Chains A and B, each alone.
Chain A
Amino acid sequence: MIEDAAFYIFAGVSLFSAIAVVLSKNIVRAAVGLLGTLGGVACLYFLADANLLGVIQLIVYAGGTLILIVFGIMLTSQSPWVGFLPTKVQAIAASIVAVILTIGIVRLVTLVPWAQRNPDELSQSLTVKSIGDALLTTYLVPFEVASVLLLVVMIGAAYLARTEK
């Protein structure tokens, strides 16, 4: 019961923040809205017994990526509050597309009788240990590839963002 209420609260926070992201004209406010979405989604992860994922979401996304984004905003803004607004036609077209997408996907999701696990098993949560084991055995290749990718990205980003001589 409390879990259900918590789901609606967190989902509401995420959605509300996501709407704020879309509607805000100021890009920093959009970033703050994104923070709200990330936090809400992280709470949802906690709710779905994905503790590690929630924490990773917070530490990597909210603590790292988002700060990077805000940093980028600060470095690339010329005057404080200038927002580049889309034209009305664009906004309306985009809204229509979004509505179409929403209807389509929601319809799809409600149409399919999703098989679900036995409710008794639902409460069994995964420990960090089991995820760590899986990462180092079954998912070793993606894990290693991801580390290589991060290395490449690090070098690439440093190269791209360096000051021109």
Chain B
Amino acid sequence: MNHQFEICLALGVVVPLISFAILVFFGANPPFGKPRAAYLAFAAIATSCVLSSYVLINWYGLSVAERTELTENAFRYHWADFGNISIDVGVKLDSLTVIMYFMVTFIASCIHAFSIGYMSGHSDEVGGKCKYHRFFAYFGLFSFSMLGLVISSSLLFLFIFWELVGLCSYLLIGFYFHEKYASDAGMKAFITNRVGDFGFIVGLALVVLYTGTFDLDAAAASFAEQYHTGTGIFAESISLFGWHVSGMTLATLMGIGLFCGAMGKSAQFPLHVWLPDAMAGPTPVSALIHAATMVAAGVYLVARVFRLLTPDAQMFIAVIGCITLTITALIAIVQTDIKKILAYSTLSQLGYMVFGMGVGAWTAALFHLMTHAFFKAMLFLGSGQVIEGCHHEKNIMKMGGLSRKMPWTGRTFLVGVLAIAGFGIPWLHIGDIKFGLGGFFSKDEILAVAYERAFNMGGDGHGESHESGGTHGENEDHAAPVHGDGHAMANVAEGVQLASADTNASALLAAQSAMASSESGDAHHAEHGRADKMKIAGTLPSLPKWMFWLPIFIAYVTPFYMMRCYWLTFRGTPRDHHVHDHAHEIPWMWVPLVILAVGTLVCSYMLFRPMIADAGGVATHAAGIVAIDGEAHSWEDTSGQVMLTVTHGSGMDNPHNALALIVGFSWLIGMGLAWLIYRNGPALAGRIKDSVPGLALVHHALEQKLYFDHVYNYALVGGTKAFGKLMGAADGVLDFVVDAVAYLFRGIGVFAGRQLDMGVEKRDIGLVDNIANFLAWITYMTGTGLRRPQNGRIRTYVLLTAGAAGIALLFVLFWPHSSDAAEVLSATAQP
């Protein structure tokens, strides 16, 4: 087997590691030193990028069948056995890997190039630590771990790289570790991620426990088998202290556990608090790690383990995504720090992706991941340019009118804003080329799926396809030509193992053939009617309505706050002349921006679209154009019915016309509103806030980030402290009672003794006094005796423990029935 792709990908992973190793040990001194260290790092990642381009081009030069074959025979090396579990080192080679890999290397290359300029202003020496080379060394390590994460075929290695990525994030957030806020932010990110990783480990442990393998494909196959036989993890119900969670199996918990990891890394709702603080790192770090690649790793993870998610787990994911995208977008409206705005918008977009994963829009979510990576990296680099140009001024209230000073930055930023706002015109197209930018397609596709799930579930077409399952053999013959497609998909996201395990396979295949025959679809224009055939509706729980309307609402909010950010920064009149006068565009730093802008445009125009669709396995290349949103997810409910999620035709029918009507012009409305309000600076907004009753309150709440940090601080930190205090107090009370009893009786005794002594002849003292004293002594000794065992001395505790154990042992052994104990023991004593 020719493993040229695997070798290229693995080489691309190793090269940044080598650059890291060189830089971290020798980077500070000649021959590397200040500029050359960066060149080395850039050369390394550029090498990876070239390799990945080679793989990308050649991969898509192959036919689907060839790709399938390559995926199945991808490189695996048997590394070790842990008991019964064998660990393979291998490369997961499929379309998703190839595209994701290319995306990471491409964006990382641009950001490396940008960083050369960005970091050149940084002094070499801060506190005796040379920082310049350290930055690029960490970048190398990050690239290594991120790429390793992407190509890992085994969950174990995925987890290892996952943690390495987290480590890099920590190191880079805390890059200015001499500043307290930066090191605090790094710590916060790290700890928050640990919370998520705890869930990840639980999920991982469940996977290994019940499937006995770390390998993604093998685990999915085993999982499908367990599902069909209703054994293993599906036979385990969740119970907590005897309380059973009805209707949920352990499989759901496993899915949620795995998703917890993604929650940490992709900063989803309860754990989202670290990402805005992570902006303490240098801006290229924010661009690379906290916008484009690392935070997307969570979504990538969900995509990878999609086959292990039950409908309940998916619903959980969708809810979390929905909450995240809503609250963070709202918070973004009121932020004044340019990087914070972008951070919250990132959170919101990540929420969209996770939401998409949750509702089953597998392809759309990944498509959104790709487009978002490009424009968000570009936006961050633009903000970095602004910050650097304005001498580390981050407050957009002090900016304005910068587009004259830094024209390229302004232009590319605008492209980014348009892309994230979902700029595009529904229904307008020239031939197959539609008019719109990245977010327009990707976000709307997620919404389209949500729409299907919210309104159109119910299964017309379900019966038909299920019946077709009856004529199994016939259908299989018929479906044979497209089987390859299905297979490619199976290896990436969904289980053919699962589908082909029973007659439902034919249903799936029917769906695929239907899709395969569908040509030229697009998000908002297509022939009607086809979609009906594609709808292999199932009985997935339909989505609550609010989970459709909230993202729609946020689709209006997003353009608003992005426009606000753009206008206050680049347009209008300068509000702080000091900042404005000194602002300048650093030469050549805009080149990566332009490259990324071009990338945004290109990927908006569907370059990645077919590729991801292919990763989903439901695209065809016969016509050269692909437009079907084929979520590659099939699931089956407990009754064994097909629960293939909606595989709708992306707005080819009426509902999607409606959707286009609902959100198609959200960018225009949102941005227009923002323009109206912020046209002349923030003053009008302030007035509106003051004049509308209640708005100030909301504003304040949003400014305080909806009090998440406060709540965490109060509940977790304070709670722990309070618990400690409570324990201390309880201890004090006990001690007090014991002491008080002792002293009370002693006092009584002494007092009594004295009273009796008074005026009594000496000979009485012996008797009376002694009695009294004896009483007092007894009580005193009782008190101190009670006190003594808890004297905090380790030796006493040792003594008590050992003594108790010994006495227990004697009791067991010398009791009349000790022979029974001996029998039991001798039974266990056999080898």
Binding site for B on A (CB under 8 A): 86, 90, 93-94, 96-98, 100-101, 103-105, 107-108, 111-115, 117, 137-138, 140-141
Contacts and interface: CB of A to CB of B under 8 A. Distances in A.
B799 A94 contact: yes
Contacts of B813: 104, 107-108, 111
Given A111-B822, A138-B83, A101 B795 contact: no
Decide if the interface of chain A is mainly helix, strand, loop or mixed. Answer: helix
Contacts of B807: 100
Contacts of B83: 138, 141
A140 B82 contact: yes
A103 B810 contact: yes
Contact of B825 (A90, A112, A141): A112
B81 interface: yes
Given A107-B810, A111-B818, 18 more contacts: A86-B795, A90-B795, A94-B795, A96-B803, A97-B799, A100-B803, A100-B806, A100-B810, A101-B806, A108-B813, A108-B825, A111-B821, A112-B826, A112-B829, A113-B826, A114-B826, A138-B83, A140-B82
B814 interface: yes
Contacts, number: 61
A138 B84 CA distance: 9
B242 interface: no
A115 B831 contact: yes
B72 to A, nearest CB: 29
A101 B800 CA distance: 12
B803 A112 contact: no
Nearest to A101: B806
Contact of B830 (A86, A115, A138): A115
Nearest to B81: A137
B189 to A, nearest CB: 21
Contacts of A112: 822, 825-826, 829
Interface in B795-818: 795, 799, 802-803, 805-807, 809-810, 813-814, 818
A97 B803 contact: yes
B80 interface: yes
A94 B798 CA distance: 9
Closest A-B pairs by Cβ, 9 of them: A104-B809, A100-B806, A101-B806, A97-B803, A111-B822, A112-B825, A115-B830, A141-B82, A104-B810
Contacts of B810: 100, 103-104, 107
Interface residues of B, number: 23
Interface of B: 80-83, 795, 799, 802-803, 805-807, 809-810, 813-814, 818, 821-822, 825-826, 829-831
A98 B799 CA distance: 9
A103 B813 CA distance: 10
A101 B798 CA distance: 13
A115 B829 contact: yes
B829 A101 contact: no
B815 to A, nearest CB: 12
A140 B830 CA distance: 27
A103 B825 CA distance: 17
B822 A105 contact: no
Contacts of A105: 809
Given A103-B810, A108-B813, A113 B795 contact: no
A101 B805 contact: yes
B80 A140 contact: yes
Contacts of B803: 93, 96-97, 100
A107 B806 CA distance: 11
Given A94-B799, A97-B799, A113 B829 contact: yes
B251 to A, nearest CB: 25
Nearest to A86: B795
A107 B814 contact: yes
Contacts of A101: 802, 805-806, 809
A100 to B, nearest CB: 4
Nearest to A90: B795
Contacts of B806: 97, 100-101, 103-104
17 contacts: A90-B795, A93-B799, A100-B807, A100-B809, A101-B805, A107-B809, A111-B818, A111-B821, A112-B826, A112-B829, A113-B829, A114-B826, A114-B829, A115-B830, A117-B831, A137-B81, A138-B83
B308 to A, nearest CB: 23
Contacts of A103: 806, 810
B148 to A, nearest CB: 19
A94 B793 CA distance: 14
A38 B508 CA distance: 69
Nearest to A94: B799
Contacts of A113: 826, 829
A140 B831 contact: no
Nearest to B807: A100
B807 to A, nearest CB: 6
Contacts of A104: 806, 809-810, 813
The residue in A103, A104, A138 that gathers the most chain B C-beta atoms within 10 A of its C-beta is A104
A46 B172 CA distance: 53
A111 B817 CA distance: 13
B492 to A, nearest CB: 30
A107 to B, nearest CB: 5
Nearest to A102: B806
A105 B814 CA distance: 12
Contacts of A114: 826, 829
A105 B829 CA distance: 15
Contacts of A86: 795
B779 to A, nearest CB: 20
A86 B797 CA distance: 15
Given A104-B809, A105-B809, A97 B802 contact: yes
A142 to B, nearest CB: 10
Contacts of A96: 803
A90 B793 CA distance: 12
A53 B81 CA distance: 24
A60 B825 CA distance: 34
A94 B82 CA distance: 44
A97 B800 CA distance: 9
B199 to A, nearest CB: 21
Contacts of B802: 97-98, 101
A94 B801 CA distance: 11
Nearest to B831: A115
Contacts of A97: 799, 802-803, 806
B795 to A, nearest CB: 7
A162 B491 CA distance: 53
A149 B539 CA distance: 49
A150 to B, nearest CB: 19
